[in-house]
């Protein structure tokens, strides 16, 4: 995968496509506001594939949805922070402006494609609506058929004529991917884009995303729980735990030397397919729920390296050119 | 006893076209599949997206009409042409659907979603059903504070666990699990798999485990069926399949699994994907098979037996 890692200095000098800063999202409960994320910050550079990983419920999807201003309503809201698409403040755009950003500038692959597509409309209508909204010039039909072919459909015409329930889970996911790629957006948010795909189709789809990235310099925010997939295809990643980013790293360094004890746990939990009897391992303890998020480091109850300092809140700090970690173990060393 | 026994099953979906909505062809989603699951056995079905796995599971439980073939549940033959012949088996044969979002009623709280089947099938009474619901939530690692929430207020992985809790609650004999754990991270996966294995041990639960996550499949299955374009192309005990795959498609699957090693890229399976409407003559896999020879054009190969493996290939790998 060497070819993916571009010259870092040339990347670093470019303006980020997406800048998320101190993003806090909360939902309303009877007992008041409960924060789901806590000051999440990251940047995505042009042409970069940026991974976001973390256990179920840590806030990955909520973060992604907030970038598109699609947080579930009512009940969820951004309480502080900012999101910039290049130099435009997403949070200050009008409804209409936001609508034109979706699809054209930011493509979205949703975690549950069946819920994102309209069950009452054939696939073709749904694809064309997007084209029509964005006043796409001619040749729509041809482009759509071509894209469907590229996401692995031998019979685009059948797919176009189908209603969502006539397609399999993985086929819906691929339709979703085709929709996200259709208008060649500068940023694609891919939330578990291949969870419904077998490994051979997954490899094919990832190859397609990489081609897009190379052809038109698209950046990808790649959300997944599959670390191996991130290892193969991302340039950089952020690890999220209980609503906070606990580590940011480039991939080579992350795999050989993960910084946060939680990251280490994630890597060690990966099953080894070569072993006779692969055990699914887990990090001991439970992932806390947002309303139980406690003071100090939120991982400390599950951490075998926890010590007295961990009852304070660790800030994300740099430990190298491209490394950041929120853990007091590194404070000690400094 | 076989909890499920399927012989020569076909499930075709008609395609209509033209002004008179004439049937112009069929999607051969399940095309001559035979498969059995013994009591207490965990059997996985793996294969390419769109190859017919979900349709197979749905047809087995009478939720999609079969075109032809035989189905027996717990050694009792089903009249596949009559929907109601599955009715006596509804409680004992559960399915966890691939898409939890659309299978959970958005207007019902989690408490209602979980308690209803428990009451309907009299596993608990109105008096103690709350206990049962709480036990289920704990089983799948969800906080019991959330009972009054609606499905949309959960993350994808949390919703999937609610669907699992609903299915295991009424203590079925067999569950068709359609991609139940693929969207979960390894930690939660481990917990769910342990739970399913424990139910297998305690209640002799059988599973048809449909999944494309091969590490999960390896960890949980007794036997595995590999499907391609509506057909089973290989079946083998779990350990044999991973150690010595016999069908070139199985081998391709194993070679496409991504690993942490950034110098070893997942292999791409090239070649034209045939359409399930116009099936190629000869072996269904030949257009993508790097070992294909002239013989493979003749007709789709019959199964041959090598050790405990059954493989439909003229030139099985050695
Ligand atoms: N509308 C809502 N109301 C209340 N809580 C919510 C709402 N939406 C999400 N949550 C909670 O916020 C947390 C983060 O959810 P999110 O969907 O972002 O998780 P995730 O990291 O994407 O997880 P997964 O890997 O399971 O998809 C979860 O604990 C979830 O229960
Ligand atoms: N109700 C239906 N009407 C028409 N065609 C259908 C219907 N259900 C499924 N199909 C078709 O049958 C084929 C098999 O679909 P199925 O859902 O069984 O695939 P699958 O193996 O489960 O795939 P995935 O891994 O992507 O979920 C597909 O070509 C699909 O389009
Ligand atoms: Mg999610
Ligand atoms: Mg399916």
CA of A333 to the centre of ligand 4 (A): 50
Cα(A319)–Cα(A331) distance, integer angstroms: 9
Kindly tell me if the per-residue pLDDT of A11 is higher than 70: no
Kindly state if the Cβ of B157 falls inside 6 Å of ligand 1: yes
CB-CB contact of A95 with A70 (8 Å): no
pLDDT, tens digit (0-9, with 9 covering 90-100), for B137-155? 988 888 888 888 888 888 8
Q: List CB-based neighbours of ion ligand 3 within 5 Å.
A: A 61, 111; B 155-156
Cα separation, B7 vs B2, in Å, equals 12
Assign A7 a pLDDT band (cuts: 50, 70, 90).
very low
Interface contact B280, partner A, CB < 8 A: no
Half-sphere exposure of B172 (CA within 13 A, CB side): 28
pLDDT at A5 over 50: no
Q: Which atom of ligand 1 is nearest to the CA of B160?
A: 26
Question: In the predicted model, is pLDDT for residue A2 greater than 60?
Answer: no
Q: How far apart are CA A222 and CA A233, in angstroms?
A: 9
Distance from CA of A87 to the nearest CA of B (A): 31
Phi/psi of residue A115, nearest 5 degrees:
-80, -20
Binned at pLDDT 50, 70 and 90, residue A67 comes out as very high
| Comparison of pLDDT for A285 and B168, the residue scoring more | B168
Interface test with B, best of A59, A198, A236 (most B CBs within 10 A): A198
The pLDDT, as a whole number, for residue B291 is 95
Query: Exposed, middle or buried: residue B29 (CB in 10 Å: 0-12, 13-18, 19+)?
Result: buried
What whole-number distance in Å separates Cα of residue A257 and Cα of residue A86? Answer: 32
Per-residue pLDDT at A1 exceeds 50: no
pLDDT above 90: percentage of residues in chain A: 55
List CB contacts (< 8 A) between A269 and chain B. 186-187, 190
Q: Identify the residue whose C-alpha is closest to ligand 1 atom 8.
A: B153
Q: What is the pLDDT along chain B (318 residues), one digit of tens a residue?
A: 899 999 999 999 998 876 677 888 899 999 999 999 999 999 999 999 999 999 999 999 999 999 999 999 999 999 999 989 999 999 999 999 887 667 788 899 999 999 999 999 999 999 999 999 999 998 888 888 888 888 888 887 788 889 989 999 999 999 999 988 877 777 778 878 888 888 899 889 999 999 988 888 998 999 999 999 999 999 999 999 999 999 999 999 999 999 888 888 888 888 888 888 888 889 999 999 999 999 999 999 999 999 999 999 999 998
Q: Which residue has the higher pLDDT, A127 or A244?
A: A244
- For chain A, give every domain's residue range: 1-93+224-270+282-334
Cα angle B16, B21, B25 (rounded to 5 degrees) comes to 25
pLDDT at A6: 47
Whole-number pLDDT of residue B297? 93
Q: Which CATH superfamily is domain A1-93+224-270+282-334 in?
A: P-loop containing nucleotide triphosphate hydrolases (3.40.50.300)
Domains, chain B, ordered by start: 2-221 (3.40.50.300)
User: Is the minimum CB–CB distance between A282 and chain B shorter than 8 Å?
Assistant: yes
Q: Return the HEC string of A127-148.
A: HHHHHHHCCCCCCHHHHHHHHH
**Gap between the Cα atoms of B98 and B181, Å rounded:** 10
CB of A195 within 6 A of ligand 1: the answer is: no
CA dihedral (B283, B285, B289, B295) in degrees, to 10, reads 0
Q: Cβ contacts (< 8 Å) between A271 and chain B: which residues?
A: 186, 215, 218-219
Rounded to two decimals, the pTM is: 0.91
Instruction: State whether B99 and A56 contact (CB < 8 Å).
Output: no
Using one digit for the tens of pLDDT, what is the confidence trace for A260-282? 999 998 888 887 777 766 666 77
DSSP B27-62: EEEEEEEEEEEETT-EEEEEE-TTSSHHHHHHHHTT
Instruction: Count CB-CB contacts under 10 A for residue A113.
Output: 26
Give the per-residue SS3 of A104-127: CCEEEECCCHHHHCCCCCCHHHHH
* pLDDT band, residue A4 (cuts 50/70/90): very low
Specify which residues A211 forms β-bridges with: none
Between the CA atoms of A13, A83, A88 and A136, what dihedral angle is there, to the nearest 10 degrees? 100
Which residues of chain A make contact with B189, given a CB cutoff of 8 A?
Answer: 280, 282
The residue ranking higher by pLDDT, A285 or A318, is A318
CA atoms of B151 and A135, how far apart (whole Å): 36
pLDDT digits (tens, 9 = 90+) for A152-168: 898 899 999 999 999 99
* Residue A77: pLDDT over 70: yes
The pLDDT of residue A136 is above 70: no
Question: Is the shortest distance between the CB of B141 and ligand 1 below 6 Å?
Answer: no
Q: Please tell me the distance between residue B158's alpha carbon and the centre of ligand 3 in angstroms.
A: 9
């Amino acid at each position: 995968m060497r070819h993916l890692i571009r010259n870092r200095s040339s990347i670093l000098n470019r303006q980020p496509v997406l800048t998320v800063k101190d993003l806090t999202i909360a939902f309303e409960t009877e007992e008041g506001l409960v924060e789901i994320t806590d000051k999440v910050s990251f940047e995505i550079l042009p042409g970069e594939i940026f991974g976001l990983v973390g256990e179920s419920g840590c806030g990955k999807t909520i973060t992604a949805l907030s970038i598109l201003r699609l947080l579930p309503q009512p009940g969820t809201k951004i309480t502080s922070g900012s999101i910039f698409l290049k130099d435009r403040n997403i949070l200050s755009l009008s409804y209409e402006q936001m609508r034109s950003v979706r699809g054209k500038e930011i493509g979205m692959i949703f975690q549950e494609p069946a819920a994102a597509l309209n069950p009452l409309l054939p696939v073709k209508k749904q694809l064309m609506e997007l084209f029509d909204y964005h006043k796409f010039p001619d040749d729509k039909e041809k482009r759509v058929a071509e894209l469907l072919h590229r996401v692995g459909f031998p019979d685009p015409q059948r797919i176009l004529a189908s209603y969502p329930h006539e397609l399999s889970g993985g086929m819906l996911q691929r339709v979703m991917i085709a929709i996200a790629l259709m208008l060649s957006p500068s940023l694609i948010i891919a939330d578990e884009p291949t969870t419904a795909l077998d490994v051979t189709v997954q490899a094919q789809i990832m190859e397609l995303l990489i081609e897009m990235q190379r052809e038109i310099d698209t950046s990808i925010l790649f959300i997944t729980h599959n670390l191996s997939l991130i290892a193969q295809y991302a340039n950089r990643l952020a690890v999220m735990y209980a609503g906070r980013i606990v580590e940011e790293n480039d991939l080579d360094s992350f795999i050989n030397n993960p910084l946060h004890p939680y990251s280490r746990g994630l890597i060690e939990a990966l099953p080894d397919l070569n072993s006779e009897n692969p055990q699914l391992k887990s990090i001991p303890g439970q992932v806390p729920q947002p309303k139980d998020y406690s003071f100090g480091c939120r991982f400390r109850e599950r951490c075998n390296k926890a010590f007295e300092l961990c009852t304070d809140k660790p800030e994300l700090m740099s430990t190298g050119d491209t490394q950041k970690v929120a853990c007091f173990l590194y404070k000690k060393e400094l | 006893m076989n909890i499920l026994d399927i012989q020569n099953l076909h499930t075709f979906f008609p395609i209509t076209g033209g002004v008179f909505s004439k049937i112009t062809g069929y999607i051969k989603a399940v095309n001559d599949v035979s498969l059995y699951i013994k009591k207490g056995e965990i059997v996985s079905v793996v294969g390419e997206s769109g190859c017919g796995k979900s349709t197979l599971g749905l047809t087995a439980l009478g939720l999609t009409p079969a075109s032809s073939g035989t189905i027996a549940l717990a050694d009792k033959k089903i009249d596949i042409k009559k929907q109601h012949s599955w009715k006596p088996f509804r409680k004992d044969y559960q399915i966890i659907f691939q898409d939890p979002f659309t299978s959970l009623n958005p207007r019902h709280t989690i408490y209602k979603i979980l308690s209803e089947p428990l009451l309907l099938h009299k596993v608990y009474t109105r008096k103690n059903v709350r206990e049962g619901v709480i036990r289920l939530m704990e089983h799948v690692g969800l906080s019991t504070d959330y009972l009054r929430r609606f499905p949309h207020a959960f993350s994808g992985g949390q919703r999937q666990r609610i669907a699992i809790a609903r299915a295991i609650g009424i203590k079925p004999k067999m569950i068709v699990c359609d991609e139940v754990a693929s969207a979960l991270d390894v930690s939660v996966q481990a917990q769910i798999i342990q739970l399913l294995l424990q139910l297998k041990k305690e209640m002799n639960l059988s599973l048809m485990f449909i999944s494309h996550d091969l590490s999960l499949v390896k960890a949980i299955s007794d036997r595995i069926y590999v499907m391609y374009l509506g057909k089973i192309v290989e079946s083998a005990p779990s350990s044999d399949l991973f150690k010595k795959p016999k069908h070139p498609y199985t081998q391709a699957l194993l070679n496409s699994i991504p690993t942490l090693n950034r110098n070893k890229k997942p292999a791409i399976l090239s070649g034209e994907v045939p359409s399930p409407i116009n099936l190629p003559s000869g072996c269904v896999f030949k257009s993508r098979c790097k070992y294909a020879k002239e013989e493979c054009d003749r007709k789709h190969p019959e199964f041959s037996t090598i050790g405990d493996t059954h493989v439909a290939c003229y030139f099985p790998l050695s």
